[in-house]
Structure 1
Amino acid sequence: MRQLMWFRSDLRVQDNTALTASMQAGPTIAVFLLSPAQWHAHHDAPCKVDFWLRNLAMLQRELKQLNVPLLIRHAPLWSDAPDVVADLCREHDIASVQVNAEYGVNEARRDEAVAARLAALSITMQSHLDQLLFQPGSILTRSGKYFQAFSQFRKVCYQRLNTAPPATLGLPPAQLALDIPSDSIPERVSGFAPPDVHLQAPWPAGEAEAGERLERFATERLDDYNRDRDLPAKPGTSQISAYLAAGVLSPRQCLHAALRSNRGEFETGSPGAVTWINELLWREFYKHILVGYPQVSRHKAFRSATEVLPWRHDPQALAAWQQGRTGFPLIDAAMRQMLATGWMHNRLRMVVAMFLSKNLLIDWREGERFFMQHLIDGDLAANNGGWQWSASTGTDAVPWFRIFNPVTQSRRFDPDGRFIRYWLPELATLDNRSIHEPTSAGDLFGTADYPPPIVDLAESRRRALEAFKNLSSIGTPT
C-alpha cells in the first residue's frame, strides 16, 4: 500500500520518525508544499525561505539514494493544503499519509483539515512525535495542567530522561525504485528575494553540514559552553539553531551528541554539557507552551493582565532600534549582526528585546515580528517565548522590575569591545572603556557617523517600572 511522506519542518532522512514509519509501511512517495502566502502571513524571513529551499534540494539528493521521489506542490495558503494533498493521493493511489507533528495553532488547524479531507476518501493520516523529545500533554503538573515554570518542567523531563532517553532511528533502508520522477526544486519562490551570497555562506545546507557542526561543537566547545555562551565575540554557541528549526537536525541527535560527550550524564559531569541540555529543554518547554496555551500562537500575552500595558507608539524609536542606530553600541551591534547574517547571539536577543520592551516601552510584538522577518532560525515557539520572557509578559518571565542595562551588559559580556568593533567599525578607534558608552568620551568622540543615545536609561527605567506597577496584577492564563 503506497504511502505519502509529507515533509514540513523535518528536512532530513536520518532519525526522521515519519519517514521511517512510512517506508516500513509501504512504497513511499514524498511531497513538500510551497506556501508563500502562508509564509508571508507568518513573517518568515527571505533568508529562512532560501535556507529551507537549499536544504530541500539536499534532501532530494538523500531521498534519491533511498529511491524515494520528492514531489513539489503549490498550496499558497495552508487552507489550500487539504485539496492539494487529496488530489496527490488520488493521483498516486495513496493509502496513508505520514507526517511529523507541528504545534502552532495554524499548523494544528491545517493538519486537522487535511486529515478530515483524507478521511472522506478513506485515506488515513498518521502523525508522529519528531520535533520534540516528549509528547505534549505527557509532561504535566499533578493537577493535569501544562507547566508554567521551566524549573518544574525540567525536573520532570530529567526524571523521564534518566528512565528512558529517546533513541535515534538512523537511516531507513532503500526501497525498490518507483517509476515516478522527482520534481525540480525552485531556487526561489514569489515574494521572497534570495539573500546576498554573503548571508548564505555562513549557512551551508544539508544534513552532512549540520551533523559536522553538531559533532565539532560537542567535541571541541561543549565543555566550555557554560562559560563562553554569553560572550558574543567568542564562538561559544553551537550555531545549529537554523538546522534545528528546519528539522535538518533532530533534538534527539542533539541530545545524544551531548550525552556522548558527557559520558551519558544529564545533570552531572561537564557543566557545559548540562547547560546545553538545559537549552534543549527550554526549546522543548516553549513548544509545549504552544499546545497548552494556544493564545501565544495568536500573539497574545501569556499573562493576560499585561495586555493593558501602555505601550508607546514611537515609529522613530522603533526604526532606530530596527536599523541599529539607537546610540547604545551593544544594541546596535547585535541588530546589525542579525541584519547581515540572519542570526543573533542568544544573550543579545535578550538584551535587545528588553531594551525595546522596557527602555523604549514599545510593544514586544513589534520586536517579535521584526525578528521573524530577519532570522534564518525563526521559530514561533522559541521567538515568542524569548520575547515574552524579556518583556515580562510570558511564562516563567523575568521579573518586571528587572531591566537589563545595555551599557552594563556590554561591559560585562564584551569587555574588550571586540564584538562592537566588528559590527560598528565607526567606533573602532575608541578605547575599551569609551566604546561601551561613546558619549562618555566627550570631545574625544569626534565621529559624526554614530548617533547619540535615543533614550535616557535612568528615565526610561523609571517609566517602565511605573507602567508595570500600575497593573493591578501580573496574572497568569486561566
Structure 2
Amino acid sequence: MPPLQLIWFRQDLRIHDHAALWHARQAGPCIALVILSPAQWQLHNDATIKIDFYLRQLKALQQQLLLLNIPLIIEHIDYWHNVSPSLLIWLNKLNIQNVHANIEYGDNEHHRDQLISEYLTQHKKTLFLYHDRSIFQVGSILSKSQQPYKVFGAFKKTVYEQLNICLPQCFPSVDSQHQLQLNCTLPNKIPTLTELGFNDIAPEQQALWPITEGYAWKKLDDFIQHDVLDYDQTRDFPAAQGSSQLSPYLNIGILSVRQCLHALFSSSHGQFHLRHHGQQIWLDELLWREFYQHILFHYPQISKGKSFKPELQQLKWRDAESDLIAWQHGHTGIPIVDAGMRQLLATGWMHNRVRMISAMFLSKNLLIDWRLGEQWFMQHLIDGDLAANNGGWQWCASTGVDAVPYFRIFNPMTQSQRFDPHGHYIRQWLPELKHLDNKTIHMPYQYQPDMQLNYPKPIVDLKQSRLRAIEHFRLHVN
C-alpha cells in the first residue's frame, strides 16, 4: 500500500478542481487536515460572517470527504507560529511523510509556510505547495523586461495572450479511497462561532449565503446562462442584481477561478473566444482580482499598511472620529453612501459600484485614512480578500497601483442619479427616505433645506470637500 499523505485544506474548501487534493491522491491514500485559527483571523480583521460561512462550508466538506473515505482532522491552533509542532505530532502519529497544500498569497501566509517547510525538512518530512488560487501562478506574468506590471491594461493584454494560447485546465475529480484503519481517534468536531469566541450570525443573514459546491455551481451556471450577456449593462446598477455575487464562493474556495473560466467559455467549447461584451467585462473583473493577487505577491508591503505609492505614505489624514463613525454606520447624510454602508452591515456584502463610491467619499471628501476604511470592510465583508480589498481601497484613495488620479473624485450625488436613477437601491436600505420622489431622494436637503426627515443632514459639503481633497493631495504629489 502506498504511504499515507496529508492534505491540508485552507481557503479552498472543495473537493473538485483542487490542485493539492489531486496531487495528494496521486501519491497515495489521504487524511485531511483543517486548522482553525481564530486569534489569527482576528489579527487579520476577518469578518464574523465570513468565519461563519467558512464553518458552514467546512461541515459540507466534511460530508464530501466522508463519501471519499478521507478522514478529517480538525485542529484548533490560535496562532500560525504554533502550527509546526502540532503538525509534526500528527505526521509522526500517523506515519505520514508528506503534506500537500495550496499556496496562499498573503505575506503572513508565505512566512508561515516557509517556517513550516523548514521545520518539517529538519524532521525529514516534506511540505508540497501547489498553485491553485489564481489563474496564473503569481510572479509568472511579467513584462518583456521581466518586471511586474503596474498598469492593469498591460497586465490584461498579456493575460489575454496567454489565455488565447491555452485556458488553464481544471484538475480531475479524485476517486474514493479504501477505508483506512487508523491506530488513533482523530479530532473532527467543528466548533460553533461562540466556541471560537465570536458572536452568532442571525439565521436570516446565513440564509443570504447558502453553502455547498453544488449550490455554487448552480449559481455560476445561472449567471452564465442568464445574466452575463447583459453584465456590461447591469453590473453598475446596485438595484438591478446584475452582479454574479460569486466572490464569497471564490474567496473561501468553494469555487475555483478555473471553474469560472470554463463556465464562461463553455459555449466556445473551452476555447478563448469572447462572443459578447458582457462576457469580456466579467472576465476583466476576474482579471482585476488576478492583478491584485500578483501585486500582493510582488509588493508584500501593501499588506502592512503601506501605500503602494511611497510619496503618499506620509499623507496627513483628518482625525475625525465622529465622521468615521457616521460613515461606518450609514449616517453621513449622503444617501447612496449610507445605503451601501447599511447593506454591508445587514448582509456582509456591498455592491461593487457602491463600494467605490463609499471608499472614495471616505478617503477624499472626508480625508480620512483609507486604512480605516479597508479595516472596516474586512471586518464586515463575507468576501473580504486582502489583495482585492487593499487594491480597491488604494485605487479609490489614489495611493495604489494603477489608481485613479487624485483629482478625479466621484460625486456621490451624480453617481447615485446615474446608477440608481429611480432610487430603488436607496429606498431598500434607507426606508426613512422611501416616500421621496426620484429626484429628491438622491440629496434631500439640497432641494428642500428645511425638510423634516428622520435622516441626518450631510456631514460635509460635497463641492468644498472635493476642492479641499484636490489641494491636499496636490501638495503631497508635487
TM-score, length of structure 2 as denominator length: 0.97
The one-letter amino acid of 1:305's match is E
Structure 1 distance, partners of 2:410, 2:273, is 29
Corresponding residue to 2:115 among 105, 113, 116: 113
1:193 and 2:195 correspond = no
Contact 2:46/2:378 (<8 A) preserved: yes
Give the SS at the match of 1:140: coil
Partner of 2:124: 122
- What pairs up with 1:38-77 in 2 under 5 angstroms? 38-77=40-79
| TM-fit CA distance, 1:440 | 2.9
How far apart, CA to CA, are the structure 2 residues paired with 1:141 and 1:102?
24
CA–CA distance in structure 1, aligned partners of residues 4 and 97 of structure 2: 6
Q: Which residue of 2 aligns with 1:476?
A: none
What secondary structure sits across from 1:419 in the alignment?
A: helix
Q: Which of 141, 144, 160 matches 1:142?
A: 144
Unaligned runs of 5+ in 1: 474-478
Deviation sequence 1:259-301 (CA, Å, 0-9, x none)? 1145656463211111101111111110011110110111210
* Residues 1:95 and 2:101 aligned together: no
Do the aligned partners of residues 198 and 93 (structure 1) sit closer, same or farther apart at CA in structure 2, a change above 3 Å counting? same
Q: Report the alpha carbon displacement of residue 159 of structure 1 after superposing the two structures with TM.
A: 0.9
Q: Distance in 2 between matches of 1:248 and 1:238?
A: 15
The separation in 1 between residues aligned to 2:19 and 2:274, in whole angstroms, is 30
DSSP-derived class of the 2:34 partner: strand
Indicate the RMSD between aligned Cα atoms, in angstroms.
1.3
Does the CA-based 8 Å contact 2:69-2:178 persist in structure 1?
yes
- Structure 1 residue 439, shift from structure 2 partner: 0.4
Provide closer, same or farther for how the CA distance between residues 360 and 262 of structure 1 changes in structure 2, counting only shifts above 3 A: farther
Q: 1:430 maps to which residue?
A: 436
Question: Residue 73 of structure 2 aligns to a residue in which SS?
Answer: strand
Matched residue SS, 1:471: helix
3-state secondary structure, aligned to 2:428: helix
* Residue of structure 2 in register with 1:470 after alignment: 475
TM-score w.r.t. the length of structure 1 is 0.97
Q: Is 1:367 aligned to 2:373, yes or no?
A: yes
Q: Deviations over 1:102-130 (max 9, x none)?
A: 11100000000111111111111111010
Corresponding position of 1:82? 84
- Helix, strand or coil at the partner of 2:35: strand
Aligned to 1:417: 423
Report percent identity of matched pairs: 50
1:169-208 paired onto structure 2 within 5 Å = 169-180=171-182, 183-188=188-193, 189-208=195-214
Separation of aligned partners in 2, 1:381 and 1:321: 23
- Answer whether contact 2:250 2:256 (CA < 8 A) is retained: yes
Identify which range, 291-300 or 178-187, moves more after superposition.
Answer: 178-187
Tell me the residue number matched to 1:350: 356
Map of 2:407 onto structure 1: 401
Instruction: Verify the 8 A CA contact 1:13 1:59 in the aligned structure 2.
Output: yes
Letter in 2 for 1:373: Q
Matched, 1:163 2:165: yes
Structure 2 Cα separation of the partners of residues 432 and 420 of structure 1: 10
* Structure 2 gap segments, 5+ residues each: none
Contact 1:54 1:187 (8 Å CA) reproduced:
no
Task: Specify the alignment match of 1:456 in structure 2.
Answer: 461
1:240 is matched with which residue? 246
1:271 and 2:271 matched: no
**Which whole-Å CA distance do the structure 2 matches of 1:104 and 1:300 have between them?**
14
Is the counterpart of residue 387 in structure 1 residue 393 in structure 2? yes
1:104 counterpart letter in structure 2: G
Identify if the C-alpha distance between structure 1 residues 451 and 265 changes in structure 2 by more than 3 Å, giving closer, same or farther.
farther
- Amino acid corresponding to residue 7 of structure 1 in structure 2: F
> Which one of the candidate residues 217, 227, 248 is aligned to 2:223?
217
| Structure 1 residue aligned with 2:28 | 26
1:113-154 residue CA offsets vs partner (Å, 9 max, x unmatched): 111111111111111010011111211112212111111111
Native 8 Å contact 2:167 2:271 kept in 1: no
The amino acid that maps onto 1:228 is T
Secondary structure at 1:94's aligned position in 2? coil
Q: Deviations over 1:162-186 (max 9, x none)?
A: 1111001232011111135661212
Q: Does 1:249 align with 2:255?
A: yes
1:105 and 1:294 in contact (8 A); partners too: yes
Shift of 1:472: 4.3
Query: What is the aligned partner in structure 2 of residue 230 from structure 1?
Result: 236
Distance 1:409 1:149 in 2: 25
Structure 2 distance, partners of 1:261, 1:392, is: 39
Q: Displacement of 1:233 after TM fit?
A: 0.2
Q: Deviations over 1:356-398 (max 9, x none)?
A: 0000000000000000000011100000000000000000101
Inter-CA distance 13–370: structure 2 relative to 1 (3 Å threshold): same
Q: What's the secondary structure of 2:191's corresponding residue?
A: coil
Equivalent residue runs for 1:283-298 within 5 Å? 283-298=289-304
1:308 matched residue in structure 2:
314
Supply the AA of the counterpart residue of 1:332. Answer: D
